[in-house]
Every structure is written in C-alpha cells, then in structure tokens.
Amino acid sequence: MAGSVFAGVDIGSLSAEALLLGEDGVLAYAITATGAYPEQAARRCLGEALDRGGVREEALSRVVATGYGRIRVPFAGREVTEITCHGRGAHYLFPGTHTVIDIGGQDSKVITLDDQGRVTDFMMNDKCAAGTGRFLEVMAAALETDLEDMGRRSLEAKKGVSISSMCTVFAESEVVSLIAEGHRGEEIIRGIHEAISRRIFRMTKRLRVRGEITFSGGVAKNRGIAKALRNLFGMELNIPQEPQVVGALGAALCARDMGPKGGDGSFRPRPL
Amino acid sequence: MNLKNGNRGFIRGLVHRPLTYRVLRPLLDLLTLREENQAFRIWIHFILEVTRKAYGRKGPVVWMNAFTPTEMVYGLGAVPFMPEIIASLVAYMGQSRRPIALADSRVSTDVCSFYRCALGLVLEGYLPKPDLILSTSYLCDGANKFFHDLSRIYGCPHLMLDPPYNDDPQGRRYMVGQIRDAAEEMTRILGLSWNHEALARALVLSNQARRYMVGINKLRRAAPSPFPGSEGLSYLAGMNFYSLGSSMGLTFYGYLHQELKRRVARNRGYLPQEVYRILWLHHIRPYYRNDIFDFLGRQKAAVSFEEPNYLYWPYLDPHKPWEALAEKILSNIWAGPLERRIRAIEQIVEDYGIDGVIHFSHWGCRQSCGGAGVIGDRLKDKGIPYIILPGDGADPDNYSPGQTRTRVQALVEMLG
Amino acid sequence: MSGSKEILKHLRAEELDPDGGPLIGWTCTYLPLEILEAGGLHPCRILPEPSSDGADAYLDPNFCPLVKTALGAALEGAYASLEGLVILNTCDGMRRLYDAWKHYCPPSFTFFLDLPRNITPRSLSYFRDTLENFKKTVEGHFHIRITRSDLVQALEESNEIRALFRRLLILKGRGDPPLSQGDILDVFFQGWRLPKRRFREALREMVDQLEKEPPRPSQGPKVVVTGSFLEGRAVIDLVEELGGDVAGSDLCTGGRLIQEVSPSSDPLAALSEAYLTRPPCARMQDMERRISFIMGEVQEKGARGVIFHALKFCDPYLYEAPALGEALRQIGIPFLFIEGDYRGRVSGGARTRVQAFLEMLEGYEP
C-alpha cells in the first residue's frame, strides 16, 4: 500500500519506545519514560514519534504493541510479545542475526533465530535484578558514579575485582566492602561488568547460541558490557545505533506484515 | 563459541591417568608428615586408591550413591565410584564453581548443588565412565533422577533399588528379593560371577570396621571432645559411605579408634578450651572454605558429634548376605518415618551431653530440610537451643558469610 | 435445556452431603480410591486454596508449594472435617507433609501408603500386598468389612466414570459456549470432591449432551501440556486465551488418569497393576517410559509443541526436564518450561513466555 505508515510501541516497566515504519524504512522513533500509566505512556510516546516524523495519526495504517504493558494499549491492533518483536527487529537491522541478547532496565532475554529470522528458542530473566540494567544502577549509586560513566570507567581498568554474590542486594554490600578495603573504583566497576556479563553468558548456555549475535536494549549502550560479552562469546557483536528501539521496530514490522484486517483466521491472540 | 581451552584438556588428561594417583600418594604423604592422626593418611591413601582403580579400570566401574551398601560392590570384585563424595572433594578443593555453572545450563538451579557439581564434572568429561550405575531411592528423589540422567548420558544401565517405607517382614522380603534381582542383573551385565566367599569377606570386614565405629562413637562422648565435627562431616563420613567392606576401610577405623583412645586417655580435646557441645545435623557441611567451625571454636563451642556417623545398622550376618544387606538398608534412620530420625537425635543429645543443635539446611535438600521444623519443635520441648542454618554444601556463590555468622552467633548467645 | 456449562456450574456449587460417609483426605492419584469407596467412605482430594501463607516455618521455604499450602491449610483447621488422611510415599515433599501433619494436627485416622518407583513383577506384587494391608487397616479402624464383591462393584463404577472421561476428552470445542480444556480440568476437580454416584450422573448427562452437538474445528497451534499439579485451570485457560489449542494434558490433575482397570478374580492385584502401569508421573523412575508416553501423546494429537509445567522445587520434574526436552527436540518439537508457585494466578512472566512460545510455533506469520 503506497504511503502506508506502521507503528510499533514497546511499553516497558521503565521506558516506552515508539517507532514509525514507512515504505522506505524507519521514519522516526521516540523514547520516553513509562511512569505509572502504560496507556498514557503509549499515547505520549507515539505522539512524540509522530511529531518527529511529521506524520499525522490518521495516516497510521496499523499499530502493534509489545512489552510488559502491551495489554494496556487499547489503540493497538494487536499485541505481540517482546520476544518475537526483538527477534524481528534484530533480524531487520542485521539480517545475519542468529542470536539476540537484550538487556533492559529490569529484565534480560536471549532469543535464537533461524536463517529466516524466526524465533526458535528463548530464555527470559524477569525475576531477578542481577543481569539487568537495574544491577548497574544500584552499583552506580553505591559507587557514587553516573550510570552513563560506568561503561567507560570499566574499560579503564586492566583487570576487575571479582564480585561473587548472585543477588543484587548482596552484591551491593560486597561492593561497599570492596570500597572500604581500598580497591580502585575502576577495578570494582570492571568486576561489576564482568559479573553481569557472566550472568548473561550463563543464561545463554541453555540455548544453542550461534553467531551472529545482536545486542540490544538500553544496556547495549554500555561499552564495558559489550566488551565483556565479546570476550566471553569470542566474537564480535552487532550493536544497533539505537539499541533501545529494537522491540518497537519489531512491533512495527509485525504491524506491516499483518496483512488486511481480518487475516486468514489463523492464530490470533484475544482481541483488545 | 568454545569455552574450552588447552589447559583444561591437559588437566583432564592427568585426572584420567592412574599414574597420577600413584604419584600423588608420596607427595601427599610428605605434606601430611606432621599429621599425628594416622587414620587421616589412610583416608588419603584410600581415596587415591579407589580413584586410581576406577580410572585404571581395574575392574568394572560401578557408580553408587552414598546410601547403597558398598559391601555389595566390593564383594563382587567391582570398583565403586561415588560422584557425591567426589563432588564434595571438588568443593573442598575450591573447584566446584565451574562445574556447577555448566550443570546450570542443563538443569534447574533449584536442585542440590552436589548433584549439579557432579553433573558438571560429567559434562566436562572428568569422571571415569561407569559400566553400571547402582543406586537406592534412599534418601532423596534427586538421586534417582540424577543417576538416571547420567545413565542416559553415558549409555550404561542403571539399577535402582527401591526400599519399602516400612521395615516389617513384608518389606524385608521385598527388599531381599530386589537385592537378589539386582545381584543377578549385575553379574549378567558386568560379566562377573558371584563369589560367595568374597561377598562374605566384605561383610566380615564391614562388621570388623563397625566394631571400631562403635568404639569410636563411645570415645567421642568424652569431654572435652576428642574429635572435631568438621572432620566427622568430611573424611569420617566419607569413609563411612565409601569404604565399608574393604580392607583399607578396616585399617582406617582401627587407626582412628587407636588415636581417639590416646586422646581420651590424655584428656585431650580438639579445642584449647571447650565450654559448649554442639550437635550438627545433616550429612554434610559447606566443604569450600568457610568460617563456621573456626568461629564456633573461638566461642569455645565444640562440634562434638554429627549426624552421618550415627551408627544405625546392626551386625551383618555373612552367611546370609542378601538378608544382611537388606537389613542394613532398611535400618537407615533417615528413611521411613521422621520419628526414627528424631529418636536418634534425642539419643545423641543425651549420650553426648549436647548443649545446642544446628540443623544445616542444604540448598535443594528437601528430604532433610523438610524435617527441620518438627525436629526443632521436639528439641525445644526439651529445652535444647536449636537453629536452622540455611546454606549450601558445594556452591560457594550461594554462601552468605554475614547471614551465616549471625545465625551461628545467635545460637552461641542462646547457650550462654 | 441446561448446557454443559450449566451442569458444570451446578456441580461446582454443590455442597457435600454431611451424611455421605466419613471424609478421607488423600493427596496422590496413585491411591486406588475404589478401596475407600468400597467401604462406604468418601474420598476427598486435598486441594488447598492457593494462599501466600505457606507453612514455611514448619517445613522449609524452598519446598513444594502444594505441600506448604496444604499444611498451612491443615494448621488453620481447613481439614477439621476429615476423619482420615491417606498420604502416599510419592516424593520427599509428601513424606515430610505426612510427618508434619501427623505431628501437629492429625485426624483420627492417618495412613502412609508406600508406592513403588519401579514397575516389576515383584513391585506389582508388593504394591498389591500393601493395598491389602491398607484395606485391613481401614476395616479395623472404621469397623467395616470390604468384601471382594464390594471392591468389584467400586471398580466397575470407577471404570464407568473413566470411560465417560475418555469420551469427554474428545468433545473439546463442542457446545455453545464451546467446552474448553479448562472446563474439562474443572470437571476432574469436581470429580475429586463430590460423591461418586452424583458425579457420575452429572458427567453422563454432560457427555450425552455434548455428543449431540456438532464438532468444531480447532484453531491455533496444538500443544500438549505436561506436568504435575495445577492448582486450577488458570494455566490451561491462559494457553487457550492466547490462541493455543491444548490438544492433550498429561497432569496429576487431568488427562493422565483415565485407564480402565480390567476385571480380575483378584481386584487388589488388578488395581495394583492398572494404577502402577498407567501413563506415569515423573515420580516413577522409568524416565524412558514417561518420555515415550508424552511423545506418543504429541504424535497422536498432532501437537506442534509441549508446555511443561512444574511446581517450583519439584525434584522429580526438574531433573526430568532436560532429558524430555532433548528427546522432543530430536523429533523437532519445541519445549517450553514454566514453573508454578501454587498462587492460583499466572504471573506476567509466565504469560509472556507462553505467548512467545505460541508465536514461535506459529512462525509468527500473521
């Protein structure tokens, strides 16, 4: 359909993303905070993306919602999980992707794809803060460092101090003790990055991970994590320019590929 | 993506070579030259010997769990291998993290860390391949499926004895029948024949060791405690599970008995000063480096006795081997009704003059931890201070030093 | 005309008749209820209401949530009307449940029934003798006699019910509103609560009615749900809500329990054999046997995937999952592992996983 614009909205527990997809590719996107009300967050975020792209709401052919708050988006034509959407989005950006590692603010996931970019298996960590952006946040606070500086500082250390606790709360105590014992901040930070990466790496061991690996989510902006993961996997990682919108991109792709309204009667989650 | 590197392969090669164990023996003898307790050195010799035999395939290798009577395997002329004991040794050497992490890629992290450690070692190819796995469904569900999964991984048969819950005449007959069936299967699979003399001899050796065990347990009632619970929970329990029916096992217990007689005669406790006497419940303790026992020692609290060395089985009649083995299995106090375990604990508390009790609730061990509440209530009825100490025997990443210290210290304060 | 849903609704609302014979609580479907029924006793499955106040302090925090909830409920007096309790030697959790329940709040009759893990001629014979022992103990305590013909009659009645269930299972999708797999599960639940004859009437009415309705083609990817204990229909309903078709269920609270008991001159031996050899729960030792049952179910129902639901800390199921997953992967069937904590509601995380799994099965081609 000429001139059709499709939108994907990804409502996470902390941040919301919206992305507009046109004939020629990505038109615009927006990243906002979710706050307490997912529906409002979705509207706001989509509104911002529309403004940026100079697209009127009436021009939207279809919207698909994904993420934690996906069932609270009444104007979406369908809701699809963030697993499928991250798979689609990563494959679109890097067609050789066979594994997606997504580390967000409050969860992390690993997704394996076949050669056509379809999901073959997945693993989620949504119960425990260790191995998510939250872990970094807590540690940054304990070290009185800006979250944005953590990655850079970790790269300044030649080696990291080992953090052994599995749990964020105990790891924080451990970090505080390490500071008191006089360890260098950079080495502690590097240890933190290695701990997160190890945790992610362990998660992937349950799946048949193979290359190429695409790294998405807010934490993908952290060069320290990227480097630690690169070392553990022994290969380069694809990192999108804006790693946080991969889910919204995937949702927009689902919207585009949904076909005419009504479909062929096959698999259909309950209508919203 | 490949994590393995050349070093790992080299170490694996060394571990599989029988020669390694021959070489280790004089080295370890040298290291333990100052050790007064001869029994400790026999333990080292023993573990090197069974390991060497298993890797060298000096007989069919039969993997077992801790509560399957080893007399049966020694009597058959096969080589027993106990992955649970090996896992604790690996944890003791500080090497358990890596295999546990590998096992976590296959099985849930909620299950026992000893099984995860052993599974990781299996997946890494460190352990000697079994010709047969023989286990009993005592004491836990985990063991049953763990060993069965291994038999799938290794492609070898798994015979599981399933003792009845009640020790009554019907149960006995059922048990004896199962042992007979298993014995027949084993000879068929392993291509061996039962030599009744060898089996009788294994039972005789076990009985002789048992007599020393009775003596040792009596000597340990002395105050001050002559023998540390931390060692009771490590190599003494290890020999209890692994060596009965072997001649080296008998030698070990003989030496230990002698050593303890000496200590008691000289009124020598293992602590410089002993004020409190503690009983440790559960068969294991954290084997990686930890501060628990040193801390207790500094508080003048001796761990005077520990659960695994409670002697629960009677004299085994060598003329009726299958009945004897059935009897040994069915007298296990940790199987069957909890009441059996509780009565034994109450007996120990009385016999050893126990002041306080620690129940070590090991991660993933439902069969033991599930009884901790009722046990505690019974002890509290008798006014015995008691704590449940949650922890992990094999996984150092699951050890919270602060929380552990708080609980143990609280117990000591309760005693004061 | 009252539809099948109406019948189900009435069943749920029924109160138990106080004169319906002594209530005997039981925990595991390996108990041949026929023995109790033959004695005029009323077996009533222990199905505690999900709650967050488990009996952690009495057992252990890292423990089967069903066991903790059951003990918690017992301690609060939820089972005060029970005159007897029969717990089986199913697993470590159940053993400790029996010990604790007996210690803190036992009803007047308690029995711990041993249950073999292996299936051999010897174990079948042992289980038969164990059942005989159980029967004699029940007779002694309740001052009754359970004759051979009592047993045969109870067996025949149970066979009728099981046959009705076999018919019910293939009627999924019929009626208006259509009978769902969740409804079927509900019917099982009512069966464990109500007096047998009353239940059999209602079930017969339901099946007769539904068989008159036209079949409806199923939609969405077919899955088989395997696992232990579901505390209700929430998980099954979720899969169906998200567009999956639960073509088969292999559960301790569902589709595993419908084998016929063949008539025999020794009803106890017949019971021993039928119960021990039916499609196994993971607490039985022979993993291969269980895996091949599940694979058979997958192939028979044309399922595209398997959802494995284990209660947290359930060792028999946790240790089995890798081998089962491997075997299914080898025949190209994806496998989703989700854990339940017996809270009665499905977590957001489980919802996402199930939905992602269904999307994956569909190849997400809308």
Secondary structure (DSSP) of chain A: -TT-EEEEEEE-SSEEEEEEEETTEEEEEEEEE-TT-HHHHHHHHHHHHHHHHT--GGGEEEEEEESTTGGG-TT-SEE--HHHHHHHHHHHH-TT--EEEEE-SS-EEEEEE-TTS-EEEEEEE-S-STTSHHHHHHHHHHTT--GGGHHHHHHT-SS------SSHHHHHHHHHHHHHTT--HHHHHHHHHHHHHHHHHHHHTTS---S-EEEESGGGG-HHHHHHHHHHHTS-EE--SSGGGHHHHHHHHHHHHT-STTTTS-S-PPP-
Element spanning C110, H or E: strand C109-113
> What residues are paired with B302 via a beta bridge?
B277
Q: How far apart are CA B356 and CA B375, in angstroms?
A: 13
> What dihedral angle (degrees, nearest 10) is formed by the CA atoms of B79, B80, B85, B91?
40
Q: How far apart are CA A52 and CA A245, in angstroms?
A: 15
Q: How far apart are CA C203 and CA B235, in angstroms?
A: 61
Kindly determine whether residue C349 and residue A265, on different chains, have CB atoms separated by under 8 Å. Answer: no
Residues C326-342 have pLDDT tens digits of: 999 999 999 999 998 88
**pLDDT at residue A266 is higher than 90:** no
Q: Which of C336, C346, C352, C362 to mutate to test the interface with A (most CBs of A within 10 A)?
A: C352
Confidence at residue B1, expressed as pLDDT on a 0 to 100 scale: 29
Distance from CA of A174 to the nearest CA of B (A): 11
More confident residue, A248 or C253: A248
Q: What is the mean pLDDT of residues A5-18?
A: 93
Confidence at residue A81, expressed as pLDDT on a 0 to 100 scale: 87
Confidence at residue C282, expressed as pLDDT on a 0 to 100 scale: 95
More confident residue, C276 or C257: C276
Confidence at residue B407, expressed as pLDDT on a 0 to 100 scale: 87
Q: What is the mean pLDDT of residues B267-292?
A: 96
Residues C99-144 have pLDDT tens digits of: 999 999 999 999 999 999 999 999 999 999 999 999 999 999 999 9
Confidence at residue C70, expressed as pLDDT on a 0 to 100 scale: 95
Query: Does residue A43 come out as left (phi exceeding 0), alpha (psi in the -120 to 50 range) or beta?
Result: alpha
Confidence at residue C52, expressed as pLDDT on a 0 to 100 scale: 64
Q: For residue B306, what are its two tokens?
A: 């520990």
Q: How far apart are CA A149 and CA A160, in angstroms?
A: 16
Q: What is the mean pLDDT of residues B120-146?
A: 95
Q: For residue C50, what are its two tokens?
A: 């999900």
Q: What is the mean pLDDT of residues A3-21?
A: 92
Confidence at residue A267, expressed as pLDDT on a 0 to 100 scale: 33
Residues A252-263 have pLDDT tens digits of: 999 998 865 433
For the stretch A111-117, contacts whose Cβ atoms lie closer than 8 Å and that sit 24 or more positions apart, written own/partner, are: A111/A83, A111/A86, A111/A87, A112/A207, A112/A208, A112/A209, A112/A210, A113/A87, A117/A87, A117/A88, A117/A91, A117/A92
Kindly determine whether residue B162 and residue C89, on different chains, have CB atoms separated by under 8 Å. Answer: no
What angle, rounded to 10 degrees, do the helices at C181-191 and C148-169 form? 170
Residues C347-366 have pLDDT tens digits of: 888 999 999 999 999 886 54
Residues C159-186 have pLDDT tens digits of: 999 999 999 999 998 988 899 999 999 9
Q: What is the mean pLDDT of residues B19-45?
A: 94
**pLDDT at residue A176 is higher than 90:** no
Instruction: Determine contact, residues A22/A5, Cβ cutoff 8 Å.
Output: yes
Q: How far apart are CA C250 and CA C280, in angstroms?
A: 9
Kindly determine whether residue B2 and residue A234, on different chains, have CB atoms separated by under 8 Å. Answer: yes
Confidence at residue B5, expressed as pLDDT on a 0 to 100 scale: 53
Residue in C89, C133, C313 nearest the CB of B366: C313
Q: For residue C97, what are its two tokens?
A: 């449940």
Q: What is the mean pLDDT of residues B158-173?
A: 95
Residues C296-317 have pLDDT tens digits of: 999 999 999 999 999 999 999 9
User: In percent, how much of chain C has pLDDT > 90?
Assistant: 74
Residue in B105, B397, B402 nearest the CB of A164: B397
Distance from CA of A230 to the nearest CA of C (A): 27
**pLDDT at residue C255 is higher than 80:** no
Confidence at residue A97, expressed as pLDDT on a 0 to 100 scale: 96
Confidence at residue C54, expressed as pLDDT on a 0 to 100 scale: 67
- The residue with tokens 């860390």 is B113
More confident residue, A239 or C76: A239
**pLDDT at residue A24 is higher than 70:** yes
User: In percent, how much of chain A has pLDDT > 70?
Assistant: 93
Q: What is the mean pLDDT of residues C43-54?
A: 84
Please tell me the number of Cα atoms within 13 Å of A110 on its side-chain side: 21
Count of other CB atoms within 10 angstroms of residue B248: 19
Residues A183-238 have pLDDT tens digits of: 999 999 999 999 889 888 888 877 878 889 999 999 999 999 999 999 999 999 99
Confidence at residue C53, expressed as pLDDT on a 0 to 100 scale: 67
Is it true that the peptide bond before C177 is cis, omega within 30 degrees of 0?
yes
Q: Is B346 exposed, middle or buried (0-12, 13-18, 19+ CB in 10 A)?
A: middle
Give residues 341 to 370 of B whose Cβ lies within 8 Å of C. 361, 363-364, 366-367, 369-370
Residues B200-214 have pLDDT tens digits of: 999 999 999 999 999
Q: Which of C64, C71, C92 to mutate to test the interface with B (most CBs of B within 10 A)?
A: C92
Kindly determine whether residue B164 and residue C57, on different chains, have CB atoms separated by under 8 Å. Answer: no
Confidence at residue A238, expressed as pLDDT on a 0 to 100 scale: 97
More confident residue, C254 or B252: B252
Distance from CA of C193 to the nearest CA of B (A): 28
Q: What is the mean pLDDT of residues B355-380?
A: 94
Residue B276 to residues B279, B301, C353, Cα–Cα distance (Å): 10, 4, 53
CB of B92 less than 8 A from some CB of C: no
The complex's ipTM works out to 0.94
**Chains with ≥3 Cβ pairs under 8 A against A?**
B, C
Average pLDDT over chain A, rounded to whole? 87
> What residues are paired with A32 via a beta bridge?
A16
Cβ-proximal residues to C215 (8 Å cutoff; 6+ apart), any chain: C173, C174
CB of A173 less than 8 A from some CB of B: yes
Per-residue DSSP letter, C24: E
Average pLDDT over chain C, rounded to whole? 91
CB of B268 less than 8 A from some CB of A: no
Closest CA to C172 of C234, C109, C218: C218
Q: Is C218 exposed, middle or buried (0-12, 13-18, 19+ CB in 10 A)?
A: middle
Q: What is the mean pLDDT of residues A42-50?
A: 95
Confidence at residue A202, expressed as pLDDT on a 0 to 100 scale: 80
**pLDDT at residue A82 is higher than 60:** yes
Question: Which chain C residue has the Cα nearest residue A127?
Answer: C349
Confidence at residue A269, expressed as pLDDT on a 0 to 100 scale: 36
A5-11 and A15-22 beta bridge pairing: antiparallel
* C61 interaction partners in chain B (CB closer than 8 Å): 390
Q: How far apart are CA B250 and CA C215, in angstroms?
A: 74
pLDDT category at A264 given cuts 50, 70, 90 is very low
**Chains with ≥3 Cβ pairs under 8 A against B?**
A, C
CB of B17 less than 8 A from some CB of A: no
Distance from CA of A204 to the nearest CA of B (A): 8
Kindly determine whether residue C122 and residue B106, on different chains, have CB atoms separated by under 8 Å. Answer: no
**pLDDT at residue A270 is higher than 60:** no
pLDDT category at B2 given cuts 50, 70, 90 is very low
Closest CA to B247 of B208, B192, B211: B208
* Contacts A–B by Cβ distance under 8 A: 23
Position B250: which residue type?
L
* B111 interaction partners in chain C (CB closer than 8 Å): 315, 318-319
**pLDDT at residue B44 is higher than 50:** yes
Q: What is the mean pLDDT of residues B67-77?
A: 95
Q: How far apart are CA C261 and CA C274, in angstroms?
A: 5
Confidence at residue B3, expressed as pLDDT on a 0 to 100 scale: 38
Kindly determine whether residue C319 and residue B146, on different chains, have CB atoms separated by under 8 Å. Answer: yes
Closest CA to C301 of C236, C248, C354, C234: C248
Confidence at residue C365, expressed as pLDDT on a 0 to 100 scale: 53
SS3 of C254-316: CCCCCCCCCCCCCHHHHHHHHHHHCCCCCCCCCHHHHHHHHHHHHHHHCCCEEEEEEECCCHH
Question: Which chain C residue has the Cα nearest residue B176?
Answer: C122
Indicate the pTM of the whole model: 0.88
Cβ-proximal residues to A181 (8 Å cutoff; 6+ apart), any chain: none
- The residue with tokens 């045969």 is C152
Kindly determine whether residue B363 and residue C62, on different chains, have CB atoms separated by under 8 Å. Answer: yes
Give residues 308 to 337 of B whose Cβ lies within 8 Å of C. 337
Confidence at residue B6, expressed as pLDDT on a 0 to 100 scale: 63
Angle at B325 between CA B320 and CA B331, to 5 degrees: 120
Confidence at residue A124, expressed as pLDDT on a 0 to 100 scale: 84
Kindly determine whether residue C243 and residue A126, on different chains, have CB atoms separated by under 8 Å. Answer: no
Kindly determine whether residue A118 and residue C356, on different chains, have CB atoms separated by under 8 Å. Answer: no
More confident residue, A162 or A63: A63
CB of C277 less than 8 A from some CB of A: no
Kindly determine whether residue B166 and residue C103, on different chains, have CB atoms separated by under 8 Å. Answer: no
